[in-house]
Amino acid sequence: MQKPRMIRNILIPTALFVLAGVAFADDAAPKPKTVIVHAGHLLDVRTGKMLANQTIVIEGDKIVSVGAYPRAGAGPAASGPKMPDDAQMVDLSNATVLPGLIDAHTHITFNPSFGYQTLAISGPREALTGAKNAKITLEAGFTTLRNLGASDYADVALRDAINAGDVPGPRLLVSGPALSITGGHCDNNLLPYEYHATHGGVADGVEAVQHKTREIIKYGADVIKICATGGVMSKGDDPNAAQYTLEEMKAIVADAHRLGRKVAAHAHGAQGAIWASEAGVDSIEHGHLMNDEAIATLKKNGTYLVPTLYLMDWQRENAAKANLPEYSRKKMEMVSEVGRTAAKKAFAAGVKIGFGTDAAVYPHGLNAHEFAVYVKLGMTPLQAIQTATVNDADLLGWSDKIGTIEPGKFADIVAVDGDPLGDITTLERVKFVMKGGEVVKNMYTASQK
């Protein structure tokens, strides 16, 4: 009978100590910071309504409420909802406020360098380049990116560093190395045979692509990228030529979707785009050489098109300093000649459009120049803005997290002067950026009280 009493004498004080420790930990837990944003004008990107004099209440990294002040013209100090005394006030009363922008096709760990000079760039160096580009892109107003292709999982490392708070940058969904056939776009075709150089995503045949898809997911990919046709910046392939077979792409998509990853397919030519859409990919990237059949296939299957169009303008306007290899220059001229026509047809046909830039083909931070191209090809400014907000949120599978300024969403907010519904180029001059309730950039600070 003495033994249970002894055990009880030990356990009770120990339990009290543990409970006291839990209570102490709860007391010590930091209270989420409250931030109050006063928006002179707030664009509802779903409806296109421009709402005046709105209050956005943020706790921690999430929006908890959005609504009008009780009287027109009221400032942050006016009567309204009861706010904590230590709340941070952000005055955007002279600005137009929108959700943080999304770019669904970047190469954040690459710089605009092409051809043989890229062989000297190591995986660690690529990740550090990505840290620089991530900050630039975030300050340009893009709070979420989908990165489609990086060497040695450099984008996985960058994503994890951003999530840990080690470096500033957008939210990242990353692919790691893109899947490619041997010798195709996304393989390493710059070195002769004796080097036996092969890119990390190369796989041929159904069994091999299944294994490669699983391997890439194992090492941290959020999304799978496949190269369904040849490309522009690669040597020795044809952008019109389909690469993976329909059966190979079906195998990739089946494994990726079963394991909870979406699939993005680089595809310029029509046949590759058709096969990729029929295989069930979630988006076609580029689509510059698509014909009417390919456009109809995307429409039928509900496949997103991410058209990446501004790169053509930038390359044409900066041909001398772009320094493209001759093989890339000729292919860029070919896709530029017809790329806009294909995109315009897709817009008119009602294909779902996502916003993506292929940044790294031109300098990072210029991403918002893509909007004006969409408007020139027939979109309204609101439709163009929707591609980089609600559409991209849907494409990424993050509609419950980003894309609108609504309660429960991440507090990702940008602000500009003027009205982007009247002049879409205002989005090229973002003056305020908030990611997850933290102010990243504020050019209105001088007017803050």
Confidence of residue 82 (pLDDT cuts 50, 70, 90): low
Q: What is the pLDDT of residues 320-351, one digit of tens each?
A: 777 788 888 888 888 888 999 999 999 999 99
Q: What percentage of residues in the chain have a pLDDT greater than 70?
A: 89
- How confident is the model at residue 15, as a pLDDT? 47
Q: What percentage of residues in the chain have a pLDDT greater than 90?
A: 73
- How confident is the model at residue 369, as a pLDDT? 98
Residue 418 CB neighbours (<10 A): 14
SS3 per-residue string spanning 146-186:
EECCCHHHHHHHHHHHHHCCCCCCCEEEECCCCEECCCCEC
In which region does residue 358 sit, left (phi positive, over 0), alpha (psi from -120 to 50) or beta (all else)? left
The one-letter amino acid at 288: H
| Mean pLDDT confidence for 180-187 | 93
Whether the predicted pLDDT of 278 surpasses 50: yes
Mean pLDDT of the chain: 90
- How confident is the model at residue 26, as a pLDDT? 53
Q: What is the pLDDT of residues 382-427, one digit of tens each?
A: 999 999 999 999 999 999 999 999 999 999 999 999 999 999 999 9
Using CB atoms within 10 Å of the CB of residue 120, give its burial: 0 to 12 exposed, 13 to 18 middle, 19+ buried: exposed
Give the three-state DSSP class for 205.
Answer: coil
Give the three-state DSSP class for 207.
Answer: helix
Distance CA 194, CA 58 (A): 59
Confidence of residue 70 (pLDDT cuts 50, 70, 90): low
Distance CA 199, CA 177 (A): 8
- How confident is the model at residue 27, as a pLDDT? 55
| Mean pLDDT confidence for 266-277 | 98
| Mean pLDDT confidence for 135-144 | 98
Nearest to 213 by CA among 172, 168, 246, 260: 260
Whether the predicted pLDDT of 47 surpasses 50: yes
Do β-strands 283-289 and 304-306 pair in parallel, antiparallel, or remain unpaired? parallel
Helix 123-139 to helix 154-163 angle (10° resolution) is 50
Whether the predicted pLDDT of 17 surpasses 90: no
Distance CA 152, CA 162 (A): 18
DSSP code of residue 235: S
Nearest to 244 by CA among 320, 163, 313, 183: 183
DSSP code of residue 30: P
Quote the distance between the C-alpha of residue 425 and its chain's center: 20
Torsion sign (Cα): 394, 397, 401, 407:
positive
Whether the predicted pLDDT of 198 surpasses 90: no
- How confident is the model at residue 19, as a pLDDT? 47
- How confident is the model at residue 97, as a pLDDT? 98
Whether the predicted pLDDT of 219 surpasses 60: yes
| Mean pLDDT confidence for 38-57 | 97
pTM for the whole structure: 0.90
| Comparison of pLDDT for 20 and 310, the residue scoring more | 310
Residue 60 CB neighbours (<10 A): 15
